[in-house]
A and B are shown apart, each in its own frame.
Chain A
């Protein structure tokens, strides 16, 4: 069983460019979460998918951010017109209700580190 994977692992872009990240969750997990982590801080929640439905979005998710999970499997996170403040680690996690004895534990991918110049 493979874990959560994310691509790319690193992305360097210039301010104003668009970037897209991909997350492949653990295959049987129907819940998928995106988090953002800036240096020296804990991760902060961005958005949540249950299957293909985006059910929750944080205030951190500005209009420049959009996320999709079209077939309820992989998910993409796009940032348009990137700003230097978008530089962070973007983490994806997946879980399944009732898994791990009902703990619904979230398992994280390795993250995508974005640097906006």
Chain B
């Protein structure tokens, strides 16, 4: 079973509008972390925002915020006031709880390509 599922291969948004990118995850751990990364065409993975499984508040970081619904195992990224420079691939990733066999590696989804139109 997929551990991270991003069901939107591509999304389009008008400049200055808000957009939501979906991500669902599957884990039996109680302690885990959820990350979103942006990957422009240059290839570098840029960290955007983090949500811990025990965090009661939705994470926010500038124009980025998360809609974290733990019971539904979803963590959707909301980008407000989209800019042309937001056009990129966006990945959701999970770090499951540290154990004897898990040292914090990330499991990534397939990604969503976001295109911002002027």
8 Å CB interface, A43-102 against B: 43-45, 48, 50, 55-56, 89, 91, 93, 95, 100
CA distance A95 to B50 in the complex (A): 14
CA distance A91 to B39 in the complex (A): 12
Interface residues contributed by chain A, number (CB under 8 Å): 28
Cβ–Cβ contact B105 & A48, under 8 A: yes
Question: Does A13 touch B at the CB level, under 8 Å?
Answer: no
Looking at chain A's contact residues, the main secondary structure is: strand
Contact residue among A42, A95, A111 (Cβ-Cβ distance under 8 Å from B93): A42
Interface residues contributed by chain B, number (CB under 8 Å): 26
Cβ–Cβ contact B91 & A42, under 8 A: yes
Cβ–Cβ contact B95 & A104, under 8 A: yes
Q: Which 9 A-B pairs have the closest CB atoms?
A: A42-B108, A108-B45, A45-B105, A103-B50, A110-B44, A48-B103, A56-B103, A111-B43, A43-B108
B66 to chain A, nearest CB (A): 13
Question: Does B18 touch A at the CB level, under 8 Å?
Answer: no
B32 to chain A, nearest CB (A): 12
The chain B residues found within 8 Å of chain A, CB to CB, are 4, 33, 35, 37, 42-47, 50, 52, 91, 93, 95, 101-111
Task: Identify 19 new A-B residue pairs, CB closer than 8 A, beyond the known A42-B4, A110-B44.
Answer: A31-B103, A33-B104, A33-B105, A41-B111, A45-B106, A45-B107, A55-B103, A56-B103, A103-B33, A103-B50, A103-B52, A104-B95, A105-B47, A106-B35, A106-B47, A106-B106, A110-B42, A111-B44, A111-B45
Q: Could you jot down 16 A-B contacts, CB within 8 Å?
A: A31-B103, A33-B106, A42-B4, A42-B91, A42-B109, A43-B108, A45-B105, A48-B103, A48-B104, A56-B103, A93-B45, A100-B50, A104-B104, A106-B106, A108-B44, A111-B45
